[in-house]
């Protein structure tokens, strides 16, 4: 987390573009069949692990993962950085009502924070040029996008070079949490990697199929990779003489 925050701070200070993506189980699974999403992940400058399932899977495969960097926690840290250092964020996404709540909560938590601007995510394709122009003209130091996958990825693929924003980060449903409409799971459930179960509890109709599908597919992917990993690590048997 500390390393990611400093990379973002340096990007905003030096006005050098840095795109961050938070990788969770759903995104990893969907990227295997969505080329736009896969390209967005692979072309990002910083990829943080947002899902405990990926942390555990990576460690089982011998990959050195220090810690999970949840997108919602990173957003909170970066808003504090913006308030401290005078950087101006831009929020894009969610409904107008929810976005207003998220902005109000951010200002209440960080009195020194100044927004470059904000806009809901319910704009039509023929309005995209206006949205891009608004963001570019705002002079924002960072852009937090709360639009669903793969719409966010397609928006960035088409307009990333025109935005003129140093630090860009997709925040998924973090505006829902920031606004207070959705509660974070208790710390114990977070540590056990059960935040997805808490989200299903809060929004069963919207979330149960998404998590059921992606968790099952992820378990199959991880199981296959563990078998391959063990086969590669197994010593070769000597060929006996006849």
Instruction: Kindly give the confidence (pLDDT) of every residue in the chain, 242 residues in length, as a single tens digit, with 9 standing for 90 and above.
Output: 999 999 999 999 999 999 999 999 999 999 999 998 999 899 999 999 998 889 999 999 999 888 999 999 999 999 999 999 999 999 999 999 999 999 999 999 998 999 999 999 999 989 999 999 999 999 999 999 999 877 888 899 889 999 999 999 999 889 999 999 988 878 888 877 778 787 777 778 777 777 888 889 999 999 999 999 888 877 766 666 55
Provide the pLDDT for residue 148: 86
Q: Residue 8: name the closest of 121, 105, 89 by CA.
A: 89
Please give the CATH topology (third level) of the domain spanning 11-185.
Rossmann fold (3.40.50)
Other CB atoms within a 10 A radius of the CB of residue 204 amount to: 10
Provide the pLDDT for residue 241: 55
Residues 128 and 160 sit within 8 Å (Cβ to Cβ): no
Provide the pLDDT for residue 195: 81
Provide the pLDDT for residue 127: 95
DSSP state of 197: H
pTM of the entire structure? 0.88
Provide the pLDDT for residue 205: 79
Q: Which residues lie across from 118 on neighbouring strands?
A: 91
Provide the pLDDT for residue 237: 64
Provide the pLDDT for residue 176: 93
Q: Residue 115: name the closest of 146, 97, 140 by CA.
A: 140
Joined together, the tokens standing for residue 36 give 């736009």
Task: Please tell me whether residue 115 adopts helix, strand or coil conformation.
Answer: coil
Provide the pLDDT for residue 119: 97
Residue the block writes with tokens 């208790």: 186
Joined together, the tokens standing for residue 116 give 């470059």
């Amino acid at each position: 987390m500390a390393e990611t925050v400093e990379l973002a701070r340096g990007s905003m200070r030096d006005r050098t573009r840095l795109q961050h993506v938070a990788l969770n189980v759903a995104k990893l699974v969907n990227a295997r069949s969505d080329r736009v999403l896969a390209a967005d992940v692979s072309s990002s400058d910083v990829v943080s692990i947002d899902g405990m399932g990926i942390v555990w899977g990576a460690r089982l495969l011998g990959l050195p993962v220090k810690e999970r960097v949840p997108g919602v926690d990173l957003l909170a840290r970066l808003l504090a950085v913006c308030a401290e250092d005078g950087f101006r964020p831009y929020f894009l996404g969610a409904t107008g009502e929810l976005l207003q709540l998220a902005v109000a909560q951010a200002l209440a938590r960080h009195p020194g924070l100044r927004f470059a601007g904000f806009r809901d995510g319910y704009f039509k394709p023929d309005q995209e040029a206006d949205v891009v122009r608004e963001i570019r003209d705002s002079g924002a130091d960072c852009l937090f996008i709360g639009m669903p996958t793969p719409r966010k990825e397609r928006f960035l693929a088409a307009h990333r070079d025109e935005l003129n924003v140093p630090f860009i980060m997709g925040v998924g449903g973090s505006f829902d949490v920031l606004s207070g409409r959705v509660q974070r799971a208790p710390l114990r459930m977070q540590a056990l990697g059960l935040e997805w179960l808490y989200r299903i509890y809060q929004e069963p109709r919207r979330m149960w199929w998404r998590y059921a599908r992606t968790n099952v597919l992820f378990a199959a992917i991880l199981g296959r990779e563990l078998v391959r990993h063990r086969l590669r690590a197994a010593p070769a048997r000597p060929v006996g003489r006849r």
